Structure 1
Amino acid sequence: MNTTFFAGAAQVDITPPLGTIINGEFVAFYAHTIHDPLYSKALVLQNEDTTLAIVIVDICAMDRNFIGEVKKEIHEETGIKPDHILIAATHTHYAGSIVDLLGGPCDLAYRKSLGAKIVQSIKSALVRLQPAKIGHVSIDVPEHVVCRRYYMKPGYKALNPVTGGYDIIKTNPAGGEDFIEKRASEPDPELSAVAVMSTSGEWISVLANYSMHYVGDCANGTITADYFGVFSRHIAANLKAGKDFVAMLSNGTSGEANIWDFLQPDRYPKEDHQKKEVIGKDLAAKLSEAIKNIQWQSNSLLSAAFKDVPLGVRKPSVAEVEAAKEIVSQTDYRLITPDQEAMVKIYAREQVLLNEYPDTIEFPVQALKIGEITIGALGGEFFAETGLALKHHISTGKYFTITMANGYIGYIPPAHEIEKGGYETWRCRSSHVKEDGEGIVRNTLYEMVKM
């Protein structure tokens, strides 16, 4: 079989205009400053039989309907099968909003403009296809990722705004540092990547993966690609890559992992944008060094598997809906300030809206194989436990999981973490899958990888 391998990469500027709505927080913000550009970055891989496309977009989240329409257009214009296309968000919280999350509504004008730019990034990558080779590399970089969920000492009250009771776990316990007992789990420290080079020796792309939420070291209303953009800029410089090189950093299983360290709060600079500069630059430096020892493969068989998995929805009871409606009827959400008292009001609105959801949703699970390399893609925010279990089970040493891919369901914690509570588990439109959902998704991906 002829397994000649081709690759091409391209990026398209998707920076929103000033005034665009920004989501990812409890209330809406509006873009007033553009610190660095945002991109849709595409990598296309092709052999005689198969074409795969991977797109990493500098945005907080993209819903299934939006991505489905984009994939349909890509298929119509390029012939690439929708199931062979992976489209994922980096999860920067400083980008244009195309989906309604908590108090941040969708910016319809930006949503309408974004799809065509994602399509263009793939079309431009196709134009650049050339004979290539690919390799996988990984290193552990534990110093930049910490669990943000904590067990607290007796006397601390971790209010759950949905149930009105108290959680076992507190996420990001600002002001409660003296009550911290210990972190609730261990994050995934692995920095993985696939590197792609032309057979003539020119860099085409690096697609990296790290399980750290985002940095968020600037004022709300700022547009920035966060540490994902810093990494991309520095690795391009480190590799001395040409102008057509496209560097991407995807988000791994980081649902409970970030860099807001409440046990060691002074280990990074505190000025705006400086923490992400330190982290992105260091990740790029470490990966650039590791790439020097990469093992290349140039006869890569390509395949893709995609499955919609039905998952049950955690919905409020009739009594909870009625109580939530009473709160909503007395709240002016235009004037709300996201303090502890407001959380009850914000999550009351979530119960009313979540009540309109179906009892079952379809969840996208995807697996791509590139020779010996396997990439899993999941449409939500998963904890490190999920990613580490997948890596252990697949056990090839050449696997990573891209999250917030092909849709966005929200947080999907393991069942035992839902029992403990904490922000990631509070029932709402961005955390509503039933307790067995994580196990169902994980086992589905296990089986798909075996195919």
Structure 2
Amino acid sequence: MSTPPFCAGAAQVKTTPPLGTRINGDFVTHYANFIHDDLYAKALVLQNGEVTVAMVVVDICIMPKDFLDQTKVEIEKVTGIPFAHILISSTHTHAAGSVADVHLGSTDPAYAKKLPGLIVSAVQQAIAKMRPATIGFGSVAAPEHLLCRRYEMAEGYTPFNPVTGEPDQIKTNPFGVEDFIVKGIAPTDPELGYLAVKDMDGQWIGLLANYSLHYVGDWENGTISADYFGVFAAQLTEKIQAPAGFVCMMSNGTSGDVNIWDFKDSERYPKAYFEKSKLIGTDLADKVFQDLPGISWQENPQLSVLYHETEIDVVKPSPEHLLSASQIVSAAHYEDIVIDQDGLRQIYAREQLLLNEFPDKGICPVQAIRIGHGVIGALAGEFFSETGLYLKENITQGPYFTITMANGNVGYVPPAAEIAKGGYETWRCRYSCLVPGAEKAIREKLLSLVQQLTVDM
């Protein structure tokens, strides 16, 4: 009997929330009062013999593990795709509906109830469109749109830490103190990697890209937008003159310490709303378009998956910190808070009390998916460029990229040396609470999974 051919299908389902929906991703909750462009859950399903994999990218800031676990259980129930073979990630646009609390940004219960069904539907529709296919991995460099957002500052400015009360060594996003900037303290990952999928007649099915840029954010609070992720998808779809049904998706790489807010050259990009995200998304789409003719297409690629839930200790506040936090919260006025130093003290005092109720262990899902001669890794948090660069340096068997904020979200996971330097990403809270050394343990687990999958390459 002949071996069943490798098949693929792709679909997208609109997930745009209604006006009035809560938006998270800031220190406070915002509410949708303007829809600039639609949001989507985009699914790519691959199958080779008895192995099926579903990869879904959702236009949203973050999705917690319990939310995604329930969604994946439902996908398995209705499609038969194993839980461990499902990858669902957030683009990390900060202009979307909310299914998670972040600081004072709260969950929108109605949207959290609605979104899982839309994600399930995207996978079901992708399965319905499956047909014999071929794949190709590609990669281009796009360093010009990436800046480390953590800065060494000159004498005369002392970075403020609202948790410890002690000065930080570095400053994240130095708005208003640009004159004190010395330099960004870490390299960025310049690679724009992608997986392209066509049917056996050469017709496009889908493309999954990966780039380590946090988000652009050139819109007013209250806006719904897919940010540059959506621009990239729309522009590339147009450039390749894709047929109806083609699905283009951009996933977020290791971008926890990266953005494109150029504090030293404020005239570098246009300032009008949506113009910077349009410029960046269009440029990235053009780079991929120019690279596509050179990629090698592979028929009947091997498909395999490994998944592991890594348990990591959580750092809790001390009794002294809890007492101090209680006193601050007792006198706080969160309804009319101003995000200055005093406001940050109030926000992070609240975070200490809420963090103290957390379990003593956090769970970070780690996943590796081999697709022919290439591998895609997935990590459930905001990891720094150092993590992605380390993995790419040590995974040499073929094309590789890391999708972050996938299968859950444990928040920021900085390298231990970066935790010691301080900065916003390291301030202890519900969104940054894993022990120093967590990043190393998690990246090494992913590396070991990839090595197991690629031992015969």
Query: After TM superposition, is the score higher than 0.5?
Result: yes
Q: Quote the residue 1:63 is aligned against.
A: 64
Q: Quote the residue 2:361 is aligned against.
A: 360
Q: Quote the residue 1:52 is aligned against.
A: 53
Q: Is 1:224 aligned to residue 225 of structure 2?
A: yes
Contact 2:159 2:168 in 1 (8 A): yes
Contact 1:27 1:338 in 2 (8 A): no
CA distance in 2, matches of 1:266, 1:311: 43
What per-residue deviation string (whole Å, max 9, x for no partner) do you get for residues 105-158 of structure 1? 100000000000000000000000001000000011000011010000111110
Contact 1:84 1:304 in 2 (8 A): yes
Letter in 2 for 1:326: Q
CA distance in 2, matches of 1:347, 1:266: 33
CA distance in 1, matches of 2:395, 2:415: 19
Q: Is 1:433 aligned to residue 434 of structure 2?
A: yes
Which structure 1 segments of 5+ residues have no match?
Answer: none
Pairwise CA RMSD of aligned residues? 0.8
CA distance in 2, matches of 1:63, 1:183: 30
Residue identity (%): 53
Q: Quote the residue 1:116 is aligned against.
A: 117
What per-residue deviation string (whole Å, max 9, x for no partner) do you get for residues 213-248 of structure 1? 000001010000000000000000111101200000
Q: Is 1:321 aligned to residue 322 of structure 2?
A: yes
CA distance in 2, matches of 1:447, 1:256: 25
Contact 2:373 2:398 in 1 (8 A): no
CA distance in 2, matches of 1:86, 1:420: 33
Structure 1 residue 341: Cα displacement:
2.0
Q: Quote the residue 1:204 is aligned against.
A: 205
Q: Is 1:151 aligned to residue 152 of structure 2?
A: yes
Task: State the SS of the aligned residue for 1:292.
Answer: helix
Q: Which aligned runs of 4 or more in structure 1 are off by greater than 2 angstroms?
A: none
Letter in 2 for 1:46: Q
Aligned pairs for 1:163-312 (under 5 A) are: 163-312=164-313
Q: Quote the residue 1:94 is aligned against.
A: 95
Q: Quote the residue 1:349 is aligned against.
A: 350
Structure 1 residue 339: Cα displacement:
2.0
CA distance in 2, matches of 1:9, 1:222: 28
Contact 1:139 1:192 in 2 (8 A): yes
Aligned residues between the structures? 451
Q: Quote the residue 1:130 is aligned against.
A: 131
CA distance in 2, matches of 1:377, 1:366: 5
CA distance in 2, matches of 1:230, 1:386: 27
Letter in 2 for 1:201: G
What per-residue deviation string (whole Å, max 9, x for no partner) do you get for residues 327-366 of structure 1? 1111121111222221111100000000111111111000
Q: Is 1:107 aligned to residue 108 of structure 2?
A: yes
Contact 1:391 1:397 in 2 (8 A): no
CA distance in 1, matches of 2:286, 2:398: 21
Contact 1:92 1:214 in 2 (8 A): yes
Contact 1:174 1:262 in 2 (8 A): yes
Contact 1:94 1:223 in 2 (8 A): yes
Structure 1 residue 395: Cα displacement:
1.5
Letter in 1 for 2:89: A
Contact 2:363 2:410 in 1 (8 A): no
CA distance in 2, matches of 1:387, 1:285: 24
Letter in 2 for 1:143: E
175-184 or 80-89, which deviates more: 175-184
CA distance in 2, matches of 1:158, 1:345: 18
Structure 1 residue 3: Cα displacement:
5.8
Contact 1:3 1:300 in 2 (8 A): no
CA distance in 2, matches of 1:388, 1:218: 30
Task: State the SS of the aligned residue for 1:432.
Answer: coil
CA distance in 1, matches of 2:397, 2:415: 24
